[in-house]
Structure 1
């Protein structure tokens, strides 16, 4: 492969040199900031040899190249003008893109807590309905407190994550959210005609609210940056937070809070109104569009509305949208049942089960739907019909949880939602199996090639000599933590196994050790990613965290040099796990066998928790 030619082809496919505002790269992908994404020929990129795929995400157009990304990047850098590669990311983005980006990055650190608490709420619903727990009992109250906390104190958590996203003091942001729930302020609701400096106060219940804190923190971020221009640095430590709290909290209760509550109520009431007038049409639209909104990352924009609706008694949006998720599960199941390709069957099965249990279906979207584009039609048909039926039945989500088989108790009426969900899965499965999922010519060509290989193998079988038993290489864990399947990683390139097979670990401490004895082949300059080639040729890529390239090396301390010879268990990198999490990044660490194609299989451990040096994977030759 000529990296020079590949670089030129990529530049042409993203709209040419003049369309490139900036380009950087991480461990596996080129990250373009483009002037106009409409000029991108994504279809050409997806088919290009040497390219795994392309996706628009987080205001960047990302071209997934693989471990040779640095070589391609060098060629691209030679071909574009210095101004295009200045590292300046100040390109103006559409206001809509910025809003959804802020919402997405503010909620993403909380999704685990929200989903876990939601599932606990659903479990309590089941236990009380079966009379296993009494709703007025002490055991129930303890568990209810655990499940309610993240929702009740949501303004505090959002104050922290949103402040991180906007680059201001996260704990001042959290304090602003906490003030809205502080007893002195909540107690004013029982006071007749409360006021502040003679101005009447309109008191509201801000627990579980979203819009008021969003407005308050956005204004706080602007105020903080302005104050720092005028206040001497020696006084900023206490004076800036004091003035921000003194101004923002009263303004939130006087202005931002009532405005945010009214906006949230207005949007929520409008959707409920549409559902009441025509649940079928509303449900069909939501069920059809949800998959496409997810691909674009725009579904996060509806999360605040969903949470506001739940706080008021129930949300119909996620009940209808959830049918798109069940339709995606149906397509994955249909492909699993229909295909004869072992690798594709493994991929479909490994994306179906986590999706059904957790509701995380991005691996299905990016690993199957975008690969076999006609399946988007199947998802639209099944999701639209399911959404229409859910809207007609008036189903609502009463507690927030990712839509999955396990979270069905979060909906009311449960039985109707369960029947519609099952019907949606069956419909999508049947359509996929009946109409197929790939072009017939392509399928026939693949079948012919497979048959040819099989015939050749059978013919030459007697000539094959196996001098010894099947070889394998053991990859030990480079980290301490909890083991998760690669399909559960919140990154399509890893979850779909496009980079290769492997496992992932949620680390419990910030030390990364060598999983094999060999040579350090690559160290990314920001220290978040490293590759080691074992003595017998297995290429192991370790990517600490998701999107952590944006930290630009902060919190990572690399202990070895590129080209160094290491032994299994040698310390490679130290990283500040807590600071990475505090910055709002996921610490999930994929461990990938990037030359998977050279081996017959990669078998992962079944352990839930693991220590450095314990067996993580077996690579079978």
Structure 2
């Protein structure tokens, strides 16, 4: 197998089919969600500028900026064709061409002229507008990935470069137009109709359910299975899904703000700020979800209640999303009616804040339990092989300032991560970029792979353990595709920190400039 093939993420055969599908959907959207959200914000800005009369929808400026905001949505089958094919280990460019075939002028012009069917070798092809669609290309890419594996086995290696793409296009483009396109369109319209029906019949119930569960769907990565439904809805009109789910991130921001105001813990304040700011500006609240809500279980109750009420308000008032955005303060113009949307999310924010500020976020005995945790002097072995640098030189100021804890940074040579101690996996982030281990001697160790690798949403990572597993020093914990991540522009520099630093008299890092696996990395004394 070539290095190129090795670069693709490996799906554990022990996973259920449903889990595999979820992983593929999540990985496929993770690589383009940023540009989708950015383009959506641009479209929302244009809506505001035209609404207040600063820009005419007929002006050249508007036309150019509208093209910038709309392009990724119109050509979504192409971008998804590329990302899904790569995720499945096939040729991304072939996947993109299959998506592009649905949008060529010869097809789109016939649709605009009202032509509903054409003939292909005597078979009727149902024509449709596939711009902004999701499901047809997903189905086509699953079939293409299977075909590509077969072709790699049966076609002579020296001619695969051009024969495999030719055969794939020859088979997949007609199949997509004959079968996958109509089937995917029907599936998307059906699911969208069900959700729209529920929101019409009982917007209160639909909003409450979606709002209350959205935080946990996000934490588990399952929200990626809902986002395609919202995008599919936008292909034919406004979307009510994200409008109802939007209550959750605003409730999370409210909880984060209350924790920021209540706590005296500098580390916790830093976590809260790192969630509030990007949450309010861009709709990304991972720091609050993973750093506060999962850590302080009382806040789970608060976010469920606040999000359910806010979602129910938006559902009852018929709020919809007109352009795809990640819900945030800056994205408010993408929703309508704006006034009703503001009411719903403001209620969610206020309730999340008030519950947390008034009733607190810690269990009554949490501080007492933390106080009596006993630690012993111990030595932490290196989980990675590579160059050693000081934590203060790390790019992320949250780590460099030692607010997360004292430790050290390794620039890894390989993508294999081993357990540095005997202990228990206390945390495995859903994005797999970070692992928390509690050693048998009480050390709380965080292994954080790379810079901004949370944005990969688990792609190019493979976990060999799960949360709660007992591990021995030297056990393989995680593998990450170091070459692929570097090719995508991600730094793999990885801090290893002791998050309960305050319990130690001294934490002394190695003085070596390089470290091998299992060599002494940190020495802690009490």
Q: With the length of structure 1 as denominator, give the TM-score of the two structures.
A: 0.63
Structure 2 equivalent of residue 124 of structure 1: 46
2:525 counterpart of 1:525: no
**1:99/1:548 Cα in 2 relative to 1: closer, same or farther (>3 Å)?**
closer
> Counterpart in 2 of 1:594?
497
Q: Tell me what 2:515 maps to.
A: none
User: 1:500–1:594: 8 Å Cα contact kept in structure 2?
Assistant: yes
- Say if 1:279 and 1:394, in contact at 8 Å, map to a contact too: yes
Assess, with a 3 A threshold, how the Cα gap between structure 1 residues 446 and 242 changes in structure 2: closer, same or farther. Answer: closer
Is 1:345 paired with 2:269? yes
Query: Aligned pair 1:95/2:17, yes or no?
Result: yes
CA distance in 2, matches of 1:100, 1:331: 29
1:426 is matched with which residue: 334, 350, 358? 350
Q: Does 1:188 align with 2:110?
A: yes
Is the CA contact 2:135–2:184 (under 8 Å) kept in the aligned structure 1?
yes
The alpha-carbon deviation at position 310 of structure 1 amounts to 1.3
Cα distance in 1 between the residues matched to 2:290 and 2:416 = 27
1:275 pairs with 2:199: yes
Shift of 1:595: 6.0
Partner SS, residue 319 of structure 1 = helix
Residue of 339, 350, 361 corresponding to 1:415: 339
> Counterparts of 2:213 and 2:459 in 1: how far apart (Å)?
30
In 2 relative to 1, CA 154–498 (structure 1 residues): closer, same or farther, beyond 3 Å? Answer: farther
Whole-Å Cα distance in 1 between the matches of residues 284 and 412 of structure 2?
A: 31
Q: Counterpart of 1:405 in 2: which secondary structure?
A: coil
Distance 1:245 1:351 in 2: 45
How many positions carry a matched residue from both structures? 428
Deviation readout 1:134-163 (Å, 9 max, x if unpaired) = 111001111111111111111000000000
Structure 1 residues 500 and 212: CA distance shift in structure 2, 3 A: farther
> Closer, same or farther in 2 for the Cα pair 1:540/1:300, shift >3 Å?
closer
Residue 142 (str. 1) matches residue 64 (str. 2): yes
Q: Is the 8 A contact 1:288 1:379 kept in 2?
A: yes
Contact 2:409 2:494 in 1 (8 A): no
1:89–1:399 distance in 2 versus 1, CA, 3 Å:
closer
2:157 to 229, 233, 243: 233
SS of 1:195's equivalent in the other structure is strand
Separation of aligned partners in 1, 2:47 and 2:94: 36
Q: Distance in 2 between matches of 1:258 and 1:159?
A: 17
1:405 aligns with 2:329: yes
In structure 2, C-alpha distance between the alignment counterparts of 1:591 and 1:222, rounded to whole Å: 36
Aligned residue for 1:251, secondary structure, equals helix
- Corresponding residue number in structure 2 for 1:543: 450
Counterpart in 2 of 1:157?
A: 79
Q: For the residues of structure 2 that align with 1:269 and 1:436, how far apart are their CA atoms?
A: 41
Change (3 A) 1:225 1:147: same
Q: Distance in 2 between matches of 1:267 and 1:224?
A: 30
Alignment CA distance shift 1:317-1:227 (3 Å):
same
The residue that corresponds to 2:466 in the other structure is none
- C-alpha distance after superposition, 1:496-543 (max 9, x if no partner): x996489xxxxxxxxxxxxxxxx99774533999xxxxxxxxx99883
287 and 111 in structure 1: CA distance in 2 versus 1, 3 angstrom threshold: same
Residues 283-328 of structure 1, C-alpha deviation per residue, up to 9 Å, x if partnerless? 0000111111112211111111010011111111111111011111
Contact map agreement 2:258 2:356 (CA 8 A) in 1 = yes
Q: Are 1:319 and 2:222 an aligned pair?
A: no
Distance in 2, matches of 1:340 and 1:271, equals: 44
Between structure 1 and structure 2, the one with the greater Rg is: 1
**2:523 counterpart residue number:** none
Cα separation, partners in 2 of 1:485 and 1:107, compared to 1, 3 Å:
farther
Q: Distance in 1 between matches of 2:301 and 2:62?
A: 44
1:603 aligns to what? none
Deviations 1:388-445 (A, max 9, x none): 0000000001111111111111101111111221121111111111111112233467
What's 1:202 paired with?
A: 126
SS at match of 2:175: helix
- Which of residues 272, 297, 302 is equivalent to 2:226? 302
Q: In 1, are the aligned partners of 2:460 and 2:485 still within 8 Å (CA)?
A: no
Residue aligning to 1:580: 487
Alpha-carbon distance change, 485 to 590 in structure 1, aligned in 2, over 3 angstroms = farther
Q: Provide the aligned C-alpha RMSD in A.
A: 3.5
Q: How does 1:194-593 map to 2 (within 5 A)?
A: 194-443=118-367, 475=392, 500=405, 523-526=412-415, 543=450, 546=453, 550=461, 580-581=487-488, 587=490, 592=495
Indicate if the aligned counterparts of 2:279 and 2:285 stay in contact, CA closer than 8 A: yes
CA distance in 2: counterparts of 1:198 and 1:168, whole angstroms = 31
Kindly state the Cα deviation for residue 365 of structure 1 after the two structures are TM-superposed. 0.8
Q: Is the 8 A contact 1:351 1:363 kept in 2?
A: yes
Query: Could you say if the C-alpha distance between residues 215 and 549 of structure 1 is closer, same or farther in structure 2, counting changes exceeding 3 Å?
Result: closer
